[in-house]
Structure 1
Amino acid sequence: MELSMTHNLTDPMIEEVSGLFSALGDISRLKVLRTLLNASEPLSQGAVAKKAGLNQANASKHLSCLVRSGLVKRDPDGNTVYYSLVQPLVSNLCDLVCGHVSSRAKSTYQALR
């Protein structure tokens, strides 16, 4: 698959991209993203924590980071805040990265045979 750079990577853009990849560089945040990706509707913080296997404090911290990075949106409804993914951004990122990881694993397996 051939990729082309359609955006000029200015220094401010590089800082934003670095922040996005930093947000994606934590296993717990990836579990939160997976939880939201598999959800059929927005989830409360408590539901995200339970489904992702995190305690409430960690779920809150990771959700805040993902909201700041623009990957997750928050929708207050009375006393409850619901979280959902910013689509199609997250799905596209997951497809691209997981495809790359799968391809590398296949190449490594074939090289070891």
Structure 2
Amino acid sequence: MNTVQAQLVGSWTTELDNDGTPALGLVAFSADGGVTSTQLNTKHIGLGTWRATGATTFEYAFHILASDDEGKHVGEARIHVEGEIVDDGTWVGTGGATFYNPEGKSLRGHGGSKVVAKKFGIGK
């Protein structure tokens, strides 16, 4: 297991700077490269993958399906985050999202939002 994997695998609370408003969330990284994420400002979970990009750096990407109040599919968000491990219990990074309609047409996007994460769970 590489250093990034040893430190990153597990469950984390996240705080994304959403244009000056904190968006709190949870993200879990698995040893086989899977990632699951959710934020309070979304209705659904995101699923995707992660990989190490250096000795202390990593990136992950996931998709979140979007629906209206009746459950009709209205599009999706594709999120990409680049992070760096600060210590055994903290990582920081930047993230962005592109939003798509149900037909796959890009509607809008943003990047460079700051993310700070703290590890939690057994032993933390």
TM-score per shorter chain, which class?
under 0.3
Greater strand share, 1 or 2?
A: 2
* TM-score where L is the length of structure 2: 0.24
Q: Please say which structure displays the higher CA radius of gyration.
A: 1
* TM-score where L is the length of structure 1: 0.26
Greater helix share, 1 or 2?
A: 1
